[in-house]
Structure 1
Amino acid sequence: MAAAPALAQDQDAEVDAVSAADLEQENTDRSGDAIIVTGTRISNPNLELASPVAVVGEEELALQATSTVEETLREIPGAVASLGSNLNNGNGGSTFINLRGVGSNRNITLLNGTRLVPADTSLRVNLDIIPTALLERVDVLTGGAGSTYGADAVSGVINFVTKTDFEGAELTVLNSITEEGDGYVGRADLTLGANLEDGRGNVVLNLGYTKRDPIRQGQRDYSEFNISSFSGNPGGSSTTTPIRISAAGGASGILGNISTDPDTGAESNTGFLQLDPDAGVLRPGFTPFNFNPFNYFQLPLEQYRIYAQGNYEISPAFEVFAEAMYVDNEVRTNGAPSGTFGVTAPIPLSNPFLPQGIVDQICAADTLLYVPAIPDDPATPEDESAPAVSAPGQVEAFLDPAACAAARAATDPDDPNFTTVNLTLGRRLVEFGERLSVRETKQFQIKTGVRGEISPTLNYEAFFSYGESDRTRKQSGNGLRSRLLQSLNSTSTDQCLDTTNGCVPINLFGPTGSVQPEAQAFIDTGNQQSNFNRLTQAGAYIEGEPGFTLPWALSGVSFVLGTEYREYTAGASSDILSQTPSEVLGNGAATPDFTGSYDVKEAYGELVVPLVEGKSFFDELTLQLGGRVSDYSTTGTEYTWKVGATWAPVPSLLFRGNYQKVTRAPNIFELFNPQVTGLANFSADPCAGSAPLSNADLRAICLAQGATSGQIGGIIIDPAGQVNVTSGGNPNLDSEDANTWTIGAIFSPDFLPGFTATIDYYNIEVTDAITIPTEDDIFANCFGVNYADGSLAIDGSSASDPACTGIRRNPATGNLFGELATTPGLPQVRTNQGKIFTDGIDLTMAYSAPLTDSIDWNSSFQGNWTNSSTFQASPNGLDRECVGFYSSNCASLQPEFSFNWRNTFSFNDVSVSVAWRWLDSFEYEPISDPSRFVEEFTTIDSYSLVDLSARAKVLDSLDFIFGIQNVFDKTPPLVGSNIGSTGFNSGNTYPSNYDVRGRSYSLTLKLGF
């Protein structure tokens, strides 16, 4: 990787640092006397940027055996891993980059300086679509990009630069496989190019195919079994097999009354009872279901792509250019077998599959049952002694043993003794097999334009671009809630009471394997969702030198003036099954249809003013200014500006600095996404257990949140460590403001030829940030939780406080987890009340020198120290520090220190390269009470990986690159499965931050002619 410094947010990527002068030389345009560097649209042969830019070169991508660029970018020191190819849960079929940890929606992704069509409604670009084999380099700019590319470049810009002068043919074939014999990755690219009419033009065509096989968590010893972060014992889901049952109501509160906590072994009133299939009765406690083996550590991918570009100079004043790309991308995610996941169902006591022993337990527990009500007779006076009506056609009642026996025999709903009981069911439908989601993305983008000279010192460019991205998600193996309830409402083994849709009764009350194939075929119909994105953009600018130079300068003033227009349209559509909350079993949030759009009209300008050159202590002093005014159809007019400078007291030392003010308008997801209920990782609930029985204020709060008196004392925390959360867009959002600045230096000493070092301090602060509160913040605002020790301060809380009543509980159990349609859980409302801050230092060093007459040594180092990365969701919320910490509140890991160091030794036609990647240690967020977890899971030691590669030129036209990744087969650190956020803490570790493949081998063949 190359560096004029600073990066963004993905944790590791080996870097070949080069001096700014070398970088300029590499990036000359077709005339050979002007450069175009990411971060400005001004071409100037003397320009060295005031903003840090890191560069990943073609050679680095080849040595890393990269199948997709996301794998490289997330390994850059100072970057924070976003959703990537190692994450199964929550992955929507795309990969992103999160520069500096301030959000993957706060940076811009470009291809040859033009925005790419987004992949989702947050307007993020899928990095998997980039044509890796055709890349000349990747520029990562982390300061001062807003005025050049748009105000949403809060943390920076990633610009993928392709080869524009390729001639000939090149075939590249990459193969990689782990030492375990799994996780195969294959990539093949054919690139064809030709120059036209003595270099007046060039055309390039790239055809590519990638196949990536899955790695399951069950294929690694450390992740084969789910481990509870609380106890260190086997963990997993409370939706298991055989079935787990609980029933609310009655004098005892919960069916069975006493059960055993699977983590601690303590008996408590949790209502967890599991079927003993041999005895046909429910026993206290349950065996958690191990879902790990089914989840992926490496997502399978199959991709076809085509990319073409061309340019032709009719005259110096008029050159036409065009590029087009098309990608067909299929990604699969996998889940453990579906289940009932706490569905509360009215079960006839005469259901033939319901064991008699369970019926006897129901009757003995004095459980609240429901029996048919006598239809209202308007002529009959109201009987105040009659049971209260709880639902149309039903009344509440308690059955004595005799009535229960009569209900057991009553199979006709018209029979007065016919009775149903509301049971909360936790049955894993292992007979269905795995839940599979297949996401296919079809994406294309075209760009065309003209450019040329207005005069010898002035140039122009104008372009138009249009792109579409359509993704379809097809699911199977889930099953439908409505059909499950229909199947359970049966009093015979071969016919449902409601026979529509060809209903087949289901046996959930037997041992594993009892669910009939016919019942599966009825319940599992499959479902489908899709989303789309459209991006139309056009722009034009003129740039160059107006023809005047300041008295103490040698170079003339340069400028650019431009205008740009963009229109975004995005949305989602689903079948009615996916739109219905809780209808698709185990699907998490519903996906209602929505569409949103906005456009923006912009004008911008930049000015580079050489103030002093060639003077004592002022070899160079240059001022850089930029500004952009944006008119959004949603939020109105916004302003972005920057000021930067470079000062070289001597040729070997250059100081640089940059200050930027940006305003980011909310995206389509933030504005228009409907409110939906989904899942998050969380493992606390003040209303759980016996505490509300002895604390009247706490009891009042729990009741105000939807719990019933009968549920108090029996409320539990989800053993899987999850909680329901409700969030979505907010059409009343305004823009957020950001101030960013960097200051640093480039050092290329004359006394050490071949050595270059850069150091830069960066500082990013986002105010009025569009954020949602963390789960801890929601609890603290209501219950007055003491972050230091987890204790409560209920005296200051009120049952009528909106911070408390906004939390909504499961009406059937009082828990904060369960059916999404009835349990909103924690409210995570998007507002402009947040604040985000990060700062740190980037350091790069590069050295190149001959060791002997025949051996050359090239060394490159890139490191980062992140001083702080804080997030405050609201003025009353905690200003949370996440650098060096992990918890459910800090999503992806962000180390305090990290570095990559590559050393390459070259002799004749062979080179050997060693790369060392190092991440600092972590500890569990101390303010979130680490004593709840096993002590060994509350710290992560520093982590090192070593990669080895060798490159050999066998023939003039044939190169081989052999690589060993993770040479010492370093395993990832283990922290259990529910100590961090759902998306990033998976398989007992953090798979986006640590290597989960194990030692692997790669072979790349490159044939050119």
Structure 2
Amino acid sequence: MPKAIFHINRRLKTGVSALAVLGSLSVATFPLTAVAAEEEEELTLEEVVVTGSRIQREDLTANSPVSVLEAGTIKMTGTTNVEEFLRDIPQAVAGIGAQANNGNDGGATVDLRNLGEERTLVLVDGKRFVPFDNQGFVDLSMIPTSLIERVEVVTGGASAVYGSDAIAGVVNFIMRDDFEGLEMDAQYGISERGDGERADFSVTVGGSFAGDRGHAVLNIGYTDQKAVTQGDREFSEFALAAADFSPGGSFTTPDGVIDGTFALVPDPNGDQAVSFDQNGNLVPFAGTFNFNPFNLLQTPQKKWTATALATYDVTDNIEFYSRASFANNQVRTIIAPTGTFFFPFSLNLNNPFLSAQAVNALTDQDGDGVVDAEFDADSDGVVDPDANIDIAFGRRLPEIGTRDSIYENTAYQFVGGFTGDLSDGIVWDVFAQYGRTKRTQNFVNDVSFSKAQQGMRAITDPVTGEIVCEDPSGGCVPVNFFGAGNISEEAARFIALNLAEVNNTEQTIVGGSLTGDLPLQLPSASNPGAFAVGFEYRKESNESLPDDNLVSGNSIGFGSSTPVDANFRVWEFFAETKIPLVQDATFAESLVLDAGVRVADYQNTVGNIENSFTNWTYKIGGEWAPISDLRFRGMFQRAVRAPNLREIGLPKTPSTGDLTTDPCAGANPVGNAELTALCIATGVQPDDIGTVNGPISGQINNFLGGNPELEPEKSNTFTLGFVLQPEAVPGLSVALDYYSIEIKNVITQFAEQSVVDACYNIEKDASGEFCQRIARNPLNGSLNGGTETGVDVSLENAAFDKTQGIDLSINYGFDLNDGEMGRIDLAFTGTHVIETLTRDADFLETDDCAGLAGTTCLRPDPKWRFNQTVQWTYDALTVFLRWQYLSKVTNDTVAFGEADESDFVQPVIPAAHYFDLSASYTINDNVTVRAGINNLFDRQPTVVGNDFGGTTENSGNVYPAVYDPIGRYYFFGINTRF
């Protein structure tokens, strides 16, 4: 029996065809070796738990599609973080990982079916792993790749079996708990361009003790990954606009920029902004700032993991099992130097750093040669000595250095339990687990708004003639913001700001179950039914502690953060059954009913606010095998996702988001009386109509926020398919499954564009729900500015999501020349996405994101994607070739009719083909070496510009997490085992 498919629980001796259980799986890598029919004799087998069911019966198969990813395949692709491997499977899209920079929170996640990481449940040996943050996300970097035996992926709802979060599916990491001996593994990789180095080392030791009553395994691993900057690749060296590939950097430049037009300063390009030269004069806008070279295509990482697994036979019928996990993961992201980003500043017009020309331009805004009245109270034609002007000011601050975010996640988890026989055929299990993650975030080289404002208001001391601060408190240093290179080192140190936040997440789970045979057997069946019943109690809590500057919003570049103190407690009870209805009959080799139900009682606590609710989940389905070669399977499941700690506990928090079009920007409202009136009613000053600046580099300010009154999401998942294993073609397995996942009551953070569109195109009422979510910059009417400006995208139960498609898996293995030339194993696994529907609210349009990417469809979702592998094994040599295909992806504004293809230089990302080639050679019983080339043909990502889509996904002019930005990559490894 091929042990590689199942989580070992207990052993028994029985005779059964391994093919029966293999038929339940869609093997997503090269196929496993099946037991031939003539070998179906008395074998020592294991009772098994296939992911997607808690029932332990070797003759009953899983009826939800399960893909199995083997450790050997993961190793042959050179993977050091398993997230990198999972994002390439056709059932997933790229989540957060090493290629995400601006928006990376220091973790690595998996996103099944493009439904979001929060809807994918991550397990280790069938039990929840400790989250790394208050969103409930598991950092996959903390799971030791070298200890993984396989990964089982269930795509589709599994809440009736595992509880909340399993709407999109389950990823279950099975550890090598039966390892014996000593194994050391080392791997080094480097790109063809000499960067992106990765070093990975691990040691695993295992063996029996106490006269073979116990077994223990210990694994320790270390990974060191180096950074690759966007300046290291030609395609990402310069920031490009998506429309015409013109310089698409930031309006916040080192010259210092004032948002607005002034009659005495030419505006030849209609930039609606002016710059300063080095002498403090106002000049036409000098051009955007290229932020790309500072940003990363690959984030640096250092991690340590340590995992201990142990079992001990307390008696002949009772076994103790345990796992202790520790991980420390450090990730650093780097973005361009901070700036003032058009925050509102008060500028004194007697500032000695301003030239007379600049003062004249600022105070004679209509260009009539007379000082404007607001700056000349006594009407003497001279600017008042105490006159001030409020400006929306953007000054890039390279003098401070790059903005670095340093994330350190330290997690540990302890799992312990007992299992044994209650009676013949009945197995009991009780367990408890506790996990805690401390997440430290340091944000360095930002700027303090209060000190920048204080330092800007410089005056000339009437006694000494020195330039000093108007308010000298706190050791103020006057800052010359006006002109590139004019900020002194001392002034830069004064306004610089470092910030910190500490998050503590705890998880406690206690549970128990009974599983075994039902006390009934239908006359038409040769075996009795099986059941599993049990309970779980789970408590999760999070405390997020940002420093005072983050809380107050005094940080300009990193925004703000708010304290979170939230927890939830849930009691869950579940039952599951599989009942053979007919077996060994004509046209009914097997007909099995599969059903399950779970009830969960939640209580959420946020400060003094409590909210409780109860939800039910269930599944019903089964299988029909008319003949032994062919099995049909189907399942309907009601799955849920309860709101996580961040969603219930995050107060309203200023941040940044994405926006393509502001209807009030530029000339849009001019000549449109209705739109003009609405823009004015929502915060644009009448004099600013026609001159409001649009989003800066595709970004605006926003407000994030949770909601303690949120209710669970509910989904309906339907799968239907078949598995074909023809006896006439040994080694061939074909699995085809249709899936449909529909989610209602979706907890959604509205897309900023959706809020804006709803206000100006649908509601058209300043007092409407969505118009009330818009707070414009009081100085210039834009959606960029201080912490009082932005679009409120706080969470609501309002959205609808649906995805459906078809999965196909084909595996075929055969010997060459009766084995004299080795063996070939072929595998194909692919997905066709029929639709991926999303709608932020009932009255908004439903968007189909299949085959699209952009500001609405953030993560590219190719309609067709597949992996095809070929493995040739000849004696001690194994050669492995993987081909990954991604079909074309179109910009969503083009697909939705909001833009024409002619509006973009590159509106479509063409289909991509990637090939990876690797080989391993076993030198002797103790040593195996391996080497490989990833991205064999050095395919470069398609350049689309930086504002083609969302900030986190679309960076460096490309989509670096989806389309490899590193290029041809070599790795070398050695494994020694004793």
Structure 1 pair 822–907 and aligned structure 2 pair: CA distance change class (3 A): same
Of 875, 879, 885, which aligns to 1:908? Answer: 875
Q: Equivalent residue for 1:666?
A: 643
Q: Does 1:812 align with 2:779?
A: yes
Q: Equivalent residue for 2:933?
A: 964
Of 816, 819, 822, which aligns to 2:788? Answer: 822
Report the alpha carbon displacement of residue 202 of structure 1 after superposing the two structures with TM. Answer: 0.8
Secondary structure, aligned partner of 2:399: helix
Q: Does 1:896 align with 2:875?
A: no
Structure 1 pair 323–680 and aligned structure 2 pair: CA distance change class (3 A): same
Of 595, 601, 604, which aligns to 1:625? Answer: 595
Q: Does 1:359 align with 2:359?
A: yes
Q: Equivalent residue for 1:411?
A: none
Of 96, 103, 108, which aligns to 1:95? Answer: 108
- Distance (Å, rounded) in 1 between the aligned partners of 2:381 and 2:301: 55
Contact 2:375 2:383 in 1 (8 A): no
Report the alpha carbon displacement of residue 615 of structure 1 after superposing the two structures with TM. Answer: 1.4
CA deviations on 1:45-90 (whole Å, 9 max, x unpaired) are 1121111100111101111111111001111102121112100011
Contact 1:478 1:587 in 2 (8 A): yes
Structure 1 pair 707–953 and aligned structure 2 pair: CA distance change class (3 A): same
- Distance (Å, rounded) in 2 between the aligned partners of 1:765 and 1:929: 26
- Distance (Å, rounded) in 1 between the aligned partners of 2:733 and 2:378: 87
Q: Equivalent residue for 1:250?
A: none
Q: Equivalent residue for 1:842?
A: 807
In the TM superposition, 1:418-817 aligns within 5 A as 418-492=386-460, 494-511=467-484, 513-581=485-553, 583-588=554-559, 590-633=560-603, 634-784=611-761, 797-817=764-784
- Give the unaligned 5+ runs of structure 1: 8-12, 248-252, 261-266, 372-386, 388-395, 408-416, 786-795
> Structure 1: which amino acid aligns with 2:412?
F
Secondary structure, aligned partner of 1:670: helix
CA deviations on 1:892-914 (whole Å, 9 max, x unpaired) are 01110000001011111111111
- Distance (Å, rounded) in 2 between the aligned partners of 1:367 and 1:177: 60
Report the alpha carbon displacement of residue 709 of structure 1 after superposing the two structures with TM. Answer: 1.6
Contact 1:768 1:834 in 2 (8 A): yes
Contact 2:266 2:283 in 1 (8 A): no
- Distance (Å, rounded) in 2 between the aligned partners of 1:276 and 1:176: 47
- Give the unaligned 5+ runs of structure 2: 6-21, 461-465, 604-610
Contact 1:700 1:799 in 2 (8 A): no
Secondary structure, aligned partner of 1:105: helix
- Distance (Å, rounded) in 2 between the aligned partners of 1:31 and 1:677: 61
Structure 1 pair 970–936 and aligned structure 2 pair: CA distance change class (3 A): same
Report the alpha carbon displacement of residue 719 of structure 1 after superposing the two structures with TM. Answer: 4.1
- Distance (Å, rounded) in 1 between the aligned partners of 2:689 and 2:124: 58
Of 190, 196, 215, which aligns to 2:209? Answer: 196
Q: Equivalent residue for 2:909?
A: 940
Q: Equivalent residue for 1:851?
A: 816
CA RMSD of aligned residues (A): 2.5
- Distance (Å, rounded) in 1 between the aligned partners of 2:636 and 2:35: 23
Contact 2:437 2:505 in 1 (8 A): yes
Of 911, 922, 932, which aligns to 1:953? Answer: 922
Structure 1 pair 978–705 and aligned structure 2 pair: CA distance change class (3 A): same
Secondary structure, aligned partner of 1:838: strand
In the TM superposition, 1:148-297 aligns within 5 A as 148-197=161-210, 199-246=212-259, 259-260=267-268, 267-268=269-270, 270-277=271-278, 280-297=280-297
Contact 1:152 1:663 in 2 (8 A): yes
Q: Equivalent residue for 1:122?
A: 135
Q: Equivalent residue for 2:29?
A: 15
Report the alpha carbon displacement of residue 501 of structure 1 after superposing the two structures with TM. Answer: 1.7
Q: Equivalent residue for 2:12?
A: none
Secondary structure, aligned partner of 1:482: helix
Secondary structure, aligned partner of 2:479: coil
- Distance (Å, rounded) in 2 between the aligned partners of 1:95 and 1:430: 30
- Distance (Å, rounded) in 2 between the aligned partners of 1:967 and 1:103: 30
Report the alpha carbon displacement of residue 958 of structure 1 after superposing the two structures with TM. Answer: 0.5
Q: Equivalent residue for 1:393?
A: none
Contact 2:376 2:383 in 1 (8 A): no
CA deviations on 1:143-181 (whole Å, 9 max, x unpaired) are 352111103211111111101111110001111110011
Structure 1 pair 367–85 and aligned structure 2 pair: CA distance change class (3 A): farther
Contact 2:542 2:567 in 1 (8 A): yes
Structure 1 pair 22–896 and aligned structure 2 pair: CA distance change class (3 A): farther
CA deviations on 1:274-313 (whole Å, 9 max, x unpaired) are 22336x4222233110111111111111011111010001
Contact 1:200 1:312 in 2 (8 A): yes
Contact 2:497 2:555 in 1 (8 A): no
Contact 1:930 1:938 in 2 (8 A): no
TM-score (normalizing by structure 1): 0.90
- Distance (Å, rounded) in 1 between the aligned partners of 2:274 and 2:504: 45
Contact 1:530 1:574 in 2 (8 A): yes
Report the alpha carbon displacement of residue 804 of structure 1 after superposing the two structures with TM. Answer: 2.6
Contact 2:598 2:616 in 1 (8 A): yes
- Distance (Å, rounded) in 1 between the aligned partners of 2:641 and 2:666: 45
Contact 2:125 2:172 in 1 (8 A): yes
> Structure 2: which amino acid aligns with 1:767?
K
Contact 1:14 1:901 in 2 (8 A): no
- Distance (Å, rounded) in 2 between the aligned partners of 1:918 and 1:364: 61
Report the alpha carbon displacement of residue 423 of structure 1 after superposing the two structures with TM. Answer: 2.5
Q: Equivalent residue for 1:137?
A: 150
Structure 1 pair 751–597 and aligned structure 2 pair: CA distance change class (3 A): same
Q: Equivalent residue for 1:381?
A: none
Q: Equivalent residue for 2:13?
A: none
Structure 1 pair 255–40 and aligned structure 2 pair: CA distance change class (3 A): farther
Of 921, 939, 947, which aligns to 1:978? Answer: 947
Q: Equivalent residue for 2:836?
A: 869
Structure 1 pair 978–807 and aligned structure 2 pair: CA distance change class (3 A): same
Report the alpha carbon displacement of residue 343 of structure 1 after superposing the two structures with TM. Answer: 2.2
- Distance (Å, rounded) in 2 between the aligned partners of 1:969 and 1:654: 42
Structure 1 pair 1003–666 and aligned structure 2 pair: CA distance change class (3 A): same
Contact 2:901 2:907 in 1 (8 A): no
Report the alpha carbon displacement of residue 526 of structure 1 after superposing the two structures with TM. Answer: 1.0
Contact 1:643 1:659 in 2 (8 A): yes
Contact 1:872 1:880 in 2 (8 A): yes
- Distance (Å, rounded) in 2 between the aligned partners of 1:597 and 1:22: 52
Structure 1 pair 93–933 and aligned structure 2 pair: CA distance change class (3 A): farther
Q: Equivalent residue for 2:18?
A: none
Report the alpha carbon displacement of residue 917 of structure 1 after superposing the two structures with TM. Answer: 0.4
Report the alpha carbon displacement of residue 736 of structure 1 after superposing the two structures with TM. Answer: 1.8
Secondary structure, aligned partner of 1:315: coil
Contact 2:331 2:406 in 1 (8 A): yes
CA deviations on 1:691-727 (whole Å, 9 max, x unpaired) are 4342222121111111112212211213412122223
Secondary structure, aligned partner of 1:211: strand
CA deviations on 1:609-634 (whole Å, 9 max, x unpaired) are 11111111111111111110111114
> Structure 1: which amino acid aligns with 2:740?
N
Stretch moving more, 846-855 or 397-406: 397-406
CA deviations on 1:310-367 (whole Å, 9 max, x unpaired) are 0001223211111101111111011101111112222222222222221122233259
- Distance (Å, rounded) in 1 between the aligned partners of 2:696 and 2:123: 44
Secondary structure, aligned partner of 2:871: strand
> Structure 1: which amino acid aligns with 2:517?
E
Secondary structure, aligned partner of 2:171: strand
Contact 2:434 2:509 in 1 (8 A): yes
TM-score (normalizing by structure 2): 0.93
CA deviations on 1:492-515 (whole Å, 9 max, x unpaired) are 45531222221111111133x221
Secondary structure, aligned partner of 2:113: helix
Stretch moving more, 481-490 or 524-533: 524-533
